[in-house]
Amino acid sequence: MYEELNCFESALQHFGTRVEIITAMEISKKISPEDAYQMIKDEMKEVKKCRKQCKKVSDFDPTFGYEWTPITTEE
């Protein structure tokens, strides 16, 4: 069912996973609520950027325009 996601769908799926991780880190007090908010806000910017790029591309490539970056905590 989800084998062939376009770039926006792939980015949206990745966004959901990242938000889950960020909220779990905030709940477990690994990061502050302000940091969690900023991280989610940054992730949303990436999704919006990908959506704009997908609109410009006629042939959808699942990895186009979205770059994976690991979540790190500074302790």
Write out pLDDT tens, residues 17-63.
Answer: 999 999 999 999 999 999 999 999 999 998 888 888 877 764 545 55
Q: Show the domain range for 36.
A: 7-56
Buried b / exposed e across 1-11, counting CB within 10 Å, b at 16+? eeeeebbbebb
pLDDT band at 68 (very low <50, low <70, confident <90, very high): low
Determine, yes or no, domain membership for 25: yes
Distance CA 21, CA 31 (A): 11
Q: Do the domain assignments include residue 45?
A: yes
The pLDDT tens digits of the residues spanning 3-12 come to 666 777 888 8
How high is the pLDDT of residue 58?
A: 47
Total structural domains within the chain = 1
Higher pLDDT pick, 74 / 12: 12
Residue 75 within a domain: no
Residue 66 lies in a domain: no
